[in-house]
Amino acid sequence: MSNDRNDSAGDDLSKELGALFQVSEAISSAVGRDELLNMILKMALIQTGATCGSILLKDETGRFLTIAAAIGLDEDIVRSVRVRVGEGIAGRVVETGLPVLVGNIDDHPVFSKLARNYHDKSFMSVPLECDESVLSVPVKVLQSVIGVLNVHCKGTGGTFTENDFRLLCILANQAAVAIQNARLLDDLENTYMNAFGSMALLLEAKDPCTQGHTERVTALCQEIGRALGIDRHDLHILRVGARLHDIGKIGINESILNKTGPLDEKEWLIVRQHPVVADRVVAPILFLQEMRPVIRGHHERMDGKGYPDGLPGEKLSLGQKIIIVADAYDAMSSSRSYRSALSDERIQRELHDNTGTQFDAEVVDALLDILNMKSPSAFA
């Protein structure tokens, strides 16, 4: 009998360690807080055998909880829910900082009144059935409760166990650390991006003809990326890379940027270095490493005759191919110091004529489809 208990304890420990390893692996691959929370919640459902769950976090007032991640809940509930701290099961868990394991809510001395006719839809497991088992664990950061991780609807129809409880506690602790780290990283990223945003404004002040260029290229890259089915992670890389692609021009003299005539050889060499300068600016920043190829490669060409590295099409990522087309399109459709904006017909001809040499065919087709939806007569 003793050996059976030891084997059972060993199995439980193995499962808990496995859960910790899996959620750590998931966290390391997540991009952004939302994806991180969804991964943790999915892991919680898998490990406890639940079919529904949610993660609620305090709002900026600290008095209400809103749903940050949910599985198995109606979308209207997810969007509209606001739980007052102290009310319902989740609100009470956040207020007290103590976990709640409810096997049968009808038998619970505090929450039995919520079993039926529970009109407050703010709790994630509404409607609560009398035979539901609910497990709710506080999520803490530095001893301060910031939210709650909830699961309910045991897939087997039974009740949650003490082993489920321990597993959820492990996940809640991981969630707390991950959320705090994500917040710190977001703060750091926001600081850098605000600084780069200021650089972009300074650049556009030097060259009024390019005002709004960065925002337009970024938006167009996102549209093309979605049309081509780029996943969320690569879309994030493309978006940030597009926002930073021209920051290397900050070191170029205004006389060159605003020159009305053709550039001489020396001036052209200076301009061609702006992707390299931009790459050097972001190189020391850890969270921008994946964006560097997009930033550095936005003037490459499919035939390998672009700059600064002369990369041929087979060595270009899809993100690079997208920004090459988006950047060129915005340049053609905008007035510059040396020429007026090109007509829609001329732009379409330039895109077609340079497909396969400068531009990727798939990206050009996606761009033209997008433009045709916006202006059918011009790009039909």
The residue with tokens 């699961």 is: 151
Collapsing DSSP to helix, strand or coil, 115 comes out as coil
CB atoms within 10 A of CB 180: 15
Among residues 270, 216, 215, which one has the least CA distance to residue 248? 270
DSSP string, 133-151: -EEEEEEEETTEEEEEEEE
Q: Please state, as a whole number, how many other Cβ atoms lie within 10 Å of the Cβ of residue 198.
A: 10
Instruction: Determine whether 321 is an active site residue.
Output: no
CA distance 94 to 76: 23
Catalytic position from the list 140, 154, 249, 321: 249
| Phi and psi, residue 178, nearest 5° | -65, -40
Q: Which residues, other chains included, contact 200 with Cβ-Cβ below 8 Å and sequence gap of 6+?
A: 214, 243, 246, 247
DSSP state of 336: B
Residue type, 117: N
Beta-bridge partner residues of 65: 58, 83
Structural tokens at position 90 = 């989740």
User: Catalytic residues, which ones?
Assistant: 249
